[in-house]
Structure 1
Amino acid sequence: SKFWSWMVDEKCSWFSAVPTIFSYLLNAEEDAQLKANLKKVRFGRSASAALPPALQKAFEARFGLSIVETMGITETAAPMLSNPLNSEFHKLGSPGIAYGNEVRVADAEGKVVCTGEENEVQVKGRNVMQGYFKNPQATREAFTPDGWYRTGDLGRMDEDEYVFITGRLKELIIKGGENIAPREIDDVLYRHSSVLEAAAFPLPDADYGQTVAAAIATRPGEEVTESALRQLCLDAMGAYRAPSKYFFLDELPKGPSGKIQRLKLTERFTD
């Protein structure tokens, strides 16, 4: 990859990438001189999808750069959350606090949930769109009765108003009536140093309605066994929430922005 040489040659002071790119950049050969060459780079910005904490720690340790995780959507025209660069206020695993708008965690009717409770992340502000072009029905469905835009993202907010994304409403795994957020499983899988890409997703199940599956792509030249990942997940979250099926792929399906598409995995592996 020419990424780092471009950063140095063009005298870049920061860069923006999706989590998949951060993961791929870790494949670069060890270069003792690289950290010194990157001293003028202030930070890297992560966007488009949730950044697994294990991946962030590995990247920062390898390259000596801080990552600022953010969150934005097309309908807000810009990032709506940002995690402060200052390490004193930075919280690992969070896209941060609201900037330039208001953000809350509430249900479809606009009832705000308690601190730490999971529900939909909603946003309100001058940066939020007025509506979808010539689609009043979609516009009505996109807003709560009191005028907040429904992002479709699941998350929780802590006592300092930092948001932690746990998944997408449409991607939620419902096993035996219990909601399981794919993001928490992804984060565990990324703890294995040989995992390049990982995504948990639902598959139909005769007994539970849905069961948990996981797709994994390993780093080039490295191997990881299903038994190792299975034990990793069992130790972290117990048998009920851990994946029951594992699929190893060369590459996981992604959209134009580089975000892994879980629903395509469900389509592919549903019998």
Structure 2
Amino acid sequence: MSLDNQTPPEGTIREWLDARAEAGGRAVVFPETGDELSWTALREGALGFARSLTARGVAKGESVAIIAPNSHEALCAFYGAAYGGFRAVMINLAAGRDAIAYALEHSEARFAYVHPDCNDLFAAAAGEGMTSLPLGGDDEEAALHDVAPTDHALLMYTSGTTGRPKGVVHSHASLLAGGWTTAVAHRLAPQDRGFCVLPIYHINGLCVTVMGSLVSGGSLAMTGRFSASQFWAQAGAAEVTWFSVVPTIISHLLHGKGEPDAECRARLRFGRSASSALAVETQQAFEARFDVPIIETMGLTETAAQILSNPLPPEPRKIGSPGVAYGCEVQIQDGEGHEVPRGEDGEIVVRGPNVMVEYLKNPEATEGTFRDGWLRTGDVARMDGDGYVFVTGRLKELIIKGGENIAPREVDEALYTHPDVVEAAAFARTCTRYGETVEAAVRVCDGSQLDPAQLIEICRDRLGPFKTPDKVHFMAELPKGPSGKIQRLKLADILPPA
């Protein structure tokens, strides 16, 4: 099976994994241990888990929980669940016991693969009747269910920052399309090796890197977690040609002491940023220091990751934009569902083969997210004459001060202009005079002598007094979701008012 730049992949994950196994070669290397996993071994591990599930009477389409950090076991369990015709429930290990318990209960999973490192977490969160299964067993004769492209393959829960987590359902077809949008945008080829440092229980790690390598026929280097001190050494040792990270990781690498060696730097085609907006100053400083181009992108759990990407050099990248649509259609629409003129603000909507099937057991939320076949993202943006999208904020994150909309990203960008700022997030604070006013939280690099008043003055100079934060809070760490995205909506609750 080969990559077609114009047509989404056909078939099922089972068929694609079989094809990669028959072709042979390395699927994953693990720089922390030096271990390797061939496509053949990955398929055999998946097949063993699939058979053990069918032998225990697990029905086609039934949820199977996977509770594991990045590892060869997690990959075999995910692929095994999909291979066997089941719905893989990727459990977010960073979500906390209550959220994990909710996901396990809501998904109605009876069986789970539990990595040894997660036994205590499983014991604390799992309800009665849930059974932990090993990856393999003595079930060689167990017959597999038939699998079709439209069958459910993945259930992944949103972070639930504004309410109960929603269970996003993807089919074999939409997951493969998610890997395809990445492969097409970044021109991934069999000789490429991606660097997976983001957890595969998040859609970025799963679809961009795992599905991207399956569809393109390339390989992966995978670590259990991101390490700023080891990143460049691991990237060099594993001979990666690209990596996918989030803005906070880019900022930590920029402010860290490590450097890629000459061979690593020459081998890297690009780094990829997603999950939240990347500050212009951070991107420019990173590229100047490391001589590695950063491709800013945008995606959602509901779209199997990527919907927008900047082109690879030498095609034009527009710094500050997550780029143009690849493999799907993107519009900017008003509140009535009409496309707005180029250059005007509206909501990003998307439709295409990578869009989710539904929110599990939540028809009201599903119906509210779709309008006339378009999935509403909740992101406010404008599109320029070349089709590049410029995101100004989230509908739920807009700061409305005295009836005027203030995009938090404007304030973030001003704060990031100071080289000592590692993380920054503006947020709304309830105010009796204006309804809402602006505050901000920042993390600065170790040893910095930066004063909040200096940052306020920078904002006043760049943005004017109306958009300038009344107070800038210094924090050791800003709250983040599992993808590394800063959760600005939590800041007003955990920080004292000005």
TM tier, shorter chain? over 0.9
Q: Tell me, which stretches of 5 or more residues in structure 2 are unaligned?
A: 1-228
Q: Using the TM superposition, give the Cα deviation of residue 28 of structure 1 relative to its aligned residue in structure 2, in angstroms.
A: 2.3
Residue pairs, 1:104-115, within 5 angstroms? 104-115=331-342
Aligned equivalents of 2:455, 2:472: Cα separation in 1: 9
SS at 2:466's partner residue? helix
Aligned equivalents of 1:160, 1:101: Cα separation in 2: 16
TM-score (norm 1): 0.95
Q: Using the TM superposition, give the Cα deviation of residue 119 of structure 1 relative to its aligned residue in structure 2, in angstroms.
A: 1.5
Contact 1:35-1:63 at 8 Å conserved across structures: no
Contact 1:34-1:63 at 8 Å conserved across structures: no
Q: Using the TM superposition, give the Cα deviation of residue 35 of structure 1 relative to its aligned residue in structure 2, in angstroms.
A: 4.8
Question: Is the counterpart of residue 63 in structure 1 residue 272 in structure 2?
Answer: no
Q: Using the TM superposition, give the Cα deviation of residue 50 of structure 1 relative to its aligned residue in structure 2, in angstroms.
A: 0.8
Question: Is the counterpart of residue 187 in structure 1 residue 402 in structure 2?
Answer: no
Aligned equivalents of 1:165, 1:127: Cα separation in 2: 21
184-193 or 111-120: bigger deviation: 111-120
Aligned equivalents of 2:451, 2:315: Cα separation in 1: 38
Q: Using the TM superposition, give the Cα deviation of residue 116 of structure 1 relative to its aligned residue in structure 2, in angstroms.
A: 1.3
Listed one character per residue, the Cα deviations across residues 184-241 of structure 1 (whole Å, up to 9, x for unaligned) are 1111111100001000000011100000001011011112112211111111110001
Aligned residue number for residue 48 of structure 1: 275
Contact 2:297-2:308 at 8 Å conserved across structures: yes
SS at 1:240's partner residue? coil
Contact 2:398-2:406 at 8 Å conserved across structures: yes
Listed one character per residue, the Cα deviations across residues 138-167 of structure 1 (whole Å, up to 9, x for unaligned) are 0111012x2211001111111111001111
Residue type at the aligned position of 1:120: E
Change (3 A) 1:7 1:30: closer
Aligned equivalents of 2:469, 2:377: Cα separation in 1: 27
Aligned residue number for residue 153 of structure 1: 379
Contact 1:152-1:170 at 8 Å conserved across structures: yes
Question: Is the counterpart of residue 230 in structure 1 residue 456 in structure 2?
Answer: yes
1:138 to 365, 372, 381: 365
Aligned residue number for residue 468 of structure 2: 242
74-83 or 13-22: bigger deviation: 74-83
How many matched pairs? 269
TM-score (norm 2): 0.53
8-17 or 222-231: bigger deviation: 222-231
1:175 to 401, 404, 407: 401
Aligned residue number for residue 85 of structure 1: 312
Residue type at the aligned position of 1:107: D
Contact 1:204-1:270 at 8 Å conserved across structures: no
62-71 or 227-236: bigger deviation: 227-236
Contact 1:17-1:46 at 8 Å conserved across structures: yes
Aligned equivalents of 1:263, 1:90: Cα separation in 2: 30
Aligned equivalents of 2:285, 2:304: Cα separation in 1: 31
Aligned equivalents of 2:360, 2:264: Cα separation in 1: 47
Aligned equivalents of 2:258, 2:326: Cα separation in 1: 37
Q: Using the TM superposition, give the Cα deviation of residue 36 of structure 1 relative to its aligned residue in structure 2, in angstroms.
A: 5.4
Residue type at the aligned position of 1:124: R
Residue type at the aligned position of 1:201: F
SS at 1:26's partner residue? helix
Aligned equivalents of 1:38, 1:258: Cα separation in 2: 25
Larger Rg belongs to: 2
1:214 to 430, 436, 440: 440
Aligned equivalents of 2:263, 2:360: Cα separation in 1: 49
Greater helix proportion: 2
Contact 2:236-2:263 at 8 Å conserved across structures: no
Aligned residue number for residue 254 of structure 1: 480
Aligned equivalents of 1:182, 1:215: Cα separation in 2: 11
Contact 2:399-2:405 at 8 Å conserved across structures: yes
Change (3 A) 1:270 1:136: farther
Residue type at the aligned position of 2:257: E
Q: Using the TM superposition, give the Cα deviation of residue 134 of structure 1 relative to its aligned residue in structure 2, in angstroms.
A: 1.8
Aligned residue number for residue 252 of structure 2: 24
Residue type at the aligned position of 2:286: F
Aligned equivalents of 1:132, 1:123: Cα separation in 2: 16
Aligned equivalents of 1:223, 1:236: Cα separation in 2: 21
Question: Is the counterpart of residue 2 in structure 1 residue 230 in structure 2?
Answer: yes
Aligned equivalents of 1:264, 1:93: Cα separation in 2: 25
Q: Using the TM superposition, give the Cα deviation of residue 95 of structure 1 relative to its aligned residue in structure 2, in angstroms.
A: 0.6
SS at 2:459's partner residue? helix
Aligned equivalents of 2:478, 2:327: Cα separation in 1: 34
Q: Using the TM superposition, give the Cα deviation of residue 87 of structure 1 relative to its aligned residue in structure 2, in angstroms.
A: 3.9
Q: Tell me, which stretches of 5 or more residues in structure 1 are unaligned?
A: none
Aligned equivalents of 1:38, 1:215: Cα separation in 2: 33
Residue type at the aligned position of 2:278: L
Question: Is the counterpart of residue 122 in structure 1 residue 122 in structure 2?
Answer: no
Aligned equivalents of 2:262, 2:434: Cα separation in 1: 50
Aligned equivalents of 2:314, 2:418: Cα separation in 1: 25
CA RMSD of aligned residues (A): 1.4
